[in-house]
């Protein structure tokens, strides 16, 4: 195993999935550590100083070709990334942070993804090898990604969209409530969730009400990614914690959810 978390990687593919989401495949040029589901990388998207800071992206999936990252084109950094071509080299730092704790054999994993949150949980679903009940929501059908690939690895999938254009009309939180109320015989459920802050807060509330253990992966603005700048600190029941170092995955009851 490499002792450093810095490595260079070459772009094998930077595939557009729709107008503003790409799937990036990176083959490492230096030795790299094996990532765990829920961990993330800091990517240097520019050789110069603009933008200076690295950008954070979850491990989407590990393939024989390299690591994959599913990203939404949002601002300057991700627009630069979108324009990068096959063969270009990138500096990375990672894998970083603590991933998802695996369930025990007698637990039933409920994996919940909202929008680009699928990028963080996909490799978890894969690792759970057909044990996961997956609830995947997006605003529109065009923003549901890799559902064919998901089809090969889940136990059950419920898809939902805000406008009902695909699957159930509603949110993953509605789906969670229905599932818990109507499904008998689900043994010791445990929730794994990634998505918008409001979604995670609602899941934490539901999990508490149903006495279900829930893990949430948080996104915060990050500068260093390694615990040095405190820029990503969030309020927890035991003081402030750094999302990059103590997270990004937290027990949802540990977080002081703020509107």
| Residue 76 near which of ligand FES, ligand FAD, none (CB within 5-8 Å, type-dependent) | ligand FAD
Tell me what percent of the chain is helix, strand and coil, each rounded to the nearest 5. 20, 35, 40
In this complex, which beta carbon is closest to ligand FAD, that of residue 85 or of residue 221?
A: 221
| Residue 206: how many other CB atoms lie within 10 Å | 17
Asked if 222 is part of the footprint of ligand FAD (rule: CB under 6 A), the reply reads yes
Phi, psi of 150 (to 5 degrees): -60, -35
| Residue 241 near which of ligand FAD, ligand FES, none (CB within 5-8 Å, type-dependent) | none
In this complex, which beta carbon is closest to ligand FAD, that of residue 178 or of residue 251?
A: 251
Q: Provide the mask over 225-244, with x wherever binding to ligand FES is found by CB under 6 A and - wherever it is not.
A: x-xxxxxx---------x-x
Of 102, 223, 236, 257, the one binding ligand FES by CB under 6 A: 223
Asked if 168 is part of the footprint of ligand FES (rule: CB under 6 A), the reply reads no
Provide the terminal-to-terminal Cα distance of the chain, rounded to the nearest Å. Answer: 42
Distance of CA 47 to the CA centre of its chain: 26
Min separation Cβ 113 and ligand FAD, Å: 11
| Residue 230 near which of ligand FAD, ligand FES, none (CB within 5-8 Å, type-dependent) | ligand FES
Min separation Cβ 145 and ligand FAD, Å: 11
DSSP 47: S
Plot region of 179 (φ>0 → left; ψ -120 to 50 → alpha; else → beta): alpha
Token pair 């810095």 is found at 6
Of 7, 23, 90, 219, the one binding ligand FAD by CB under 6 A: 219
Burial status of residue 128 (CB atoms within 10 A of its CB: 0-12, 13-18, 19 or more)? buried
| Residue 231 near which of ligand FES, ligand FAD, none (CB within 5-8 Å, type-dependent) | ligand FES
What CA–CA distance (Å, rounded) separates 108 from 188? 6
Of the candidates 55, 63, 54, 6, which has an alpha carbon nearest to the alpha carbon of residue 30?
6
What does the binding site for ligand FAD look like in residue numbers (CB under 6 A)? 40, 51, 53, 55-58, 69-72, 74-78, 116, 119, 219-222, 248
């Amino acid at each position: 195993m490499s002792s450093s978390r810095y490595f260079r990687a070459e772009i094998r593919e930077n595939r557009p999935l729709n107008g503003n989401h790409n799937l990036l495949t990176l083959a490492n040029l230096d030795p790299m550590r094996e990532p765990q589901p829920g961990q993330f990388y800091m990517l240097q998207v520019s050789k110069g100083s603009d933008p200076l800071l690295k950008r954070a992206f979850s491990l989407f999936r590990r393939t024989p070709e390299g690591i994959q990252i599913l990203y939404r084109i949002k601002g300057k950094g991700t627009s630069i990334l979108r324009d990068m071509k096959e063969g270009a080299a990138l500096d990375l730092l990672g894998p970083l942070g603590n991933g998802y704790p695996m369930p025990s054999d007698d637990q039933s994993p409920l994996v919940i993804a909202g929008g680009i949150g699928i990028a963080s949980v996909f490799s978890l679903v894969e690792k759970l090898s057909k044990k996961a009940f997956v609830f995947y929501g997006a605003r529109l059908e065009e923003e549901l990604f890799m559902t064919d690939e998901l089809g090969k690895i889940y136990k059950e999938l419920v898809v939902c969209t805000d406008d009902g254009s695909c699957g159930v009309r509603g949110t993953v939180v509605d789906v969670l409530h229905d599932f818990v109320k109507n499904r008998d015989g689900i043994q010791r459920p445990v929730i794994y969730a990634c998505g918008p802050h409001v979604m995670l807060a609602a899941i934490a509330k539901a999990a508490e009400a149903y006495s279900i253990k829930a893990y949430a992966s948080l996104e915060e603005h990050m500068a260093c990614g390694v615990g040095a700048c405190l820029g990503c600190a969030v309020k927890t029941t035991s003081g402030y914690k750094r999302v990059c170092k103590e997270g990004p995955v937290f027990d949802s009851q540990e977080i002081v959810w703020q509107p």
